[in-house]
Amino acid sequence: MKMQLAEVAKAVDAQNDVSQWADVTVTAVHFDSRQLAAGTLFVPLAGEHDGHEFIDSARVHGAVASFWAASKTAQAPTDFPVLIVDDPLAAMQKLARYWLSKINPQVVAVTGSNGKTTTKDMTASVLDTEYNVVKTFANYNNEVGVPYTVLSMDPNTEILVVEMGMDRFDQLDALSKLVEPDVAIITMIGEAHIEFFGTRDRIADAKMEITHGLKADGRFVFNGDEPLLAERAATIDNEQRTFGQQSSNNLYPTKITTDNEQHETSFVVNQWPDETFTIPLLGEYNVNNAMAALTVGELFHVRVANMARGLANVALTENRTQWLTGITGEAILSDIYNANPTAMKDVLQMFAKTPAAGRHIAVLGDMLELGTDADELHASVATALHANEIQSVYLIGPHMQALQQALSGDYAADNLHYYALDDKDRLTSDLAADVQASDEVLLKASHGVHLETVLSTLQNGTSKK
């Protein structure tokens, strides 16, 4: 982006006169004082620490101006441009709406209990073969990350692909109304955040909020294999497209071929029977994500050959079923950003089918925000674990004790390891001593378990703090 400070002040209804700074040029917006580049407008957010405390750091790292809460006007610097606003986050969101209306790209919004990041990556890659596309960086998918994504657009952006996460009601409502999507996608309904919602029905209600800002002529794309979505889709008037494994969907696979050695999946769909699509991922669930991307590609009239090229060359966000190599030469499947029971079972079933000269070793951590049924849901993962397929299991976290008990009849004691959450260092050292070059290791947990420290040791021999 590029905007004079006077224009920014007008867009957010700043409460102070910035005429003496009117010609200051803002070329970026960021909320982390350590990650600024020259020309950045700093947004001091409230959190564990008050962002206003880091104004000096922001200035050192390249900030040329800052939002500033009206309640802290007395502490505002006088030798540096600040825009006085009631709430810096609300001002950032307001500026994002202004920038979005100024650039006026088509907007594709993606949500779902599982697969939204991969679907975002695939959709952006398909569209990028024929359009100028900007997509959500990493997992910046909340009320801070979505406006940050919008404000990262260049003026020549034609399509914005924005991922949206949620852990409470009204969150997707606000995000959808902020970007007003032309296409809204829901990948699936799972158990993620069931602690807050109570039932999958209520999760589906919350996910449907992504349609609240959908333009009147916007299209709704969803997994037609999910009855909870089909029921709710019937209540909205927008044009709809479905994808899934069943032939009742608009787009479904007629053939799926897995190359476990190359970690690839190829498939043919009903719409283009003469074209074979290939993705650098394993798992039927990833075919669903790819079909969501293909559906969007068709809506934007992307040529089929380009859609195939986009899927084959997709740049995936790290730590989402990402294959890596450990320090001893072992293959590591890192899927450590998030976890829910459906996703964990899917990745375990896929991992078990990959060829390994040695053992398959699964390192599983707690799945968070599963509420009162957490132990039962953790124990249910046992249906995807079999000692003849995944020979060794390392578990960490209080809820994983339930899975340990469920597996005790199938696994010998020396192949079933359990650790308390504060005993991760011992897990790491035991695993590092156990793993061999011929083995394959899966790491899967909610991000709050921080298995990235285990991954760092396996890759580098040192723990990433």
* CB distance 360 to 440 below 8 Å: yes
Residue where the block lists tokens 């897995």: 258
Taking phi over 0 as left and psi of -120 to 50 as alpha, with beta for the rest, 295 belongs to alpha
The whole-angstrom separation of Cα 24 and Cα 83 is 12
The whole-angstrom separation of Cα 445 and Cα 436 is 22
The whole-angstrom separation of Cα 8 and Cα 11 is 5
Cα dist. 394→148, 336, 390 in Å? 38, 14, 11
* 116 annotated ligand-binding residue: yes
* 113 annotated ligand-binding residue: yes
* CB distance 269 to 291 below 8 Å: yes
* 165 annotated ligand-binding residue: no
For the purposes of burial, counting CB atoms within 10 Å of the CB of 205, is it exposed (0-12), middle (13-18) or buried (19 or more)?
middle
In the structure encoding, which two tokens stand for residue 332, read together? 């590591």
H or E, element range at 306:
helix 304-312
* 118 annotated ligand-binding residue: yes
Distance between first and last Cα of the chain: 34
The whole-angstrom separation of Cα 293 and Cα 221 is 10
Residue where the block lists tokens 């089909």: 230
* 117 annotated ligand-binding residue: yes
Which residues in 230-319 belong to E strands, given as ranges?
239-243, 253-259, 264-269, 277-279
Residues annotated within the binding site are 112-118
Residues annotated within the binding site for ATP are 112-118
